[in-house]
Amino acid sequence: MMRMATRSLIAACSLLMLGLGACTGSSPGASYFPLQAGHQWAYDAATEREDSSVEHEAMTLSTLGEEALDGGGRAYRRRSDSGVDYWLRADDTGTFRVATKTDLEAEPTLDKAPRYVLKMPLAVGTQWQAMTTSYLLRRRNEFPPEIRHTHAPVMMQYRIEALGEKLKTRAGEFSDCIRVQGTASMRLFADPVNGFKDMPLSTTEWYCKGVGLARLVRSEPAQSTFLSGGTLTLELIEWQ
**Confidence class for position 46, pLDDT limits 50, 70, 90:** very high
In single-letter form, the type of residue at position 240 comes to Q
Strand 40-49 relative to strand 54-69, pairing: antiparallel
Full residue range of the structural domain in which residue 59 is found: 2-239
Burial class (CB within 10 angstroms; exposed 0-12, middle 13-18, buried 19+) of 56:
exposed
Residue 221 has pLDDT above 50, yes or no: yes
Question: Average pLDDT over the chain, rounded to whole?
Answer: 86
Position 43 confidence tier, pLDDT thresholds 50, 70, 90: very high
Strands across the sheet containing 212-220:
109-119, 94-102, 84-91, 73-80, 54-69, 40-49, 230-239, 212-220, 195-208, 172-191, 154-169, 127-132
Find out whether 134 and 201 touch, Cβ atoms under 8 Å: yes
Q: What is the mean pLDDT of residues 49-78?
A: 92
- Is the bond leading into 221 cis (omega within 30 degrees of zero)? no
- Residue 16 has what pLDDT? 41
The model's pTM is 0.87
Indicate the number of domains in the chain. Answer: 1
Encode pLDDT of 108-132 as tens digits.
999 988 899 999 999 999 999 999 9
Mean pLDDT computed over 164-177:
97
pLDDT (tens digit, 9 = 90+) per residue, 140-158?
Answer: 877 777 787 778 899 999 9
pLDDT at 25 over 60: no
**Angle at the Cα of 136 (from 81 to 197), degrees rounded to 5?**
150
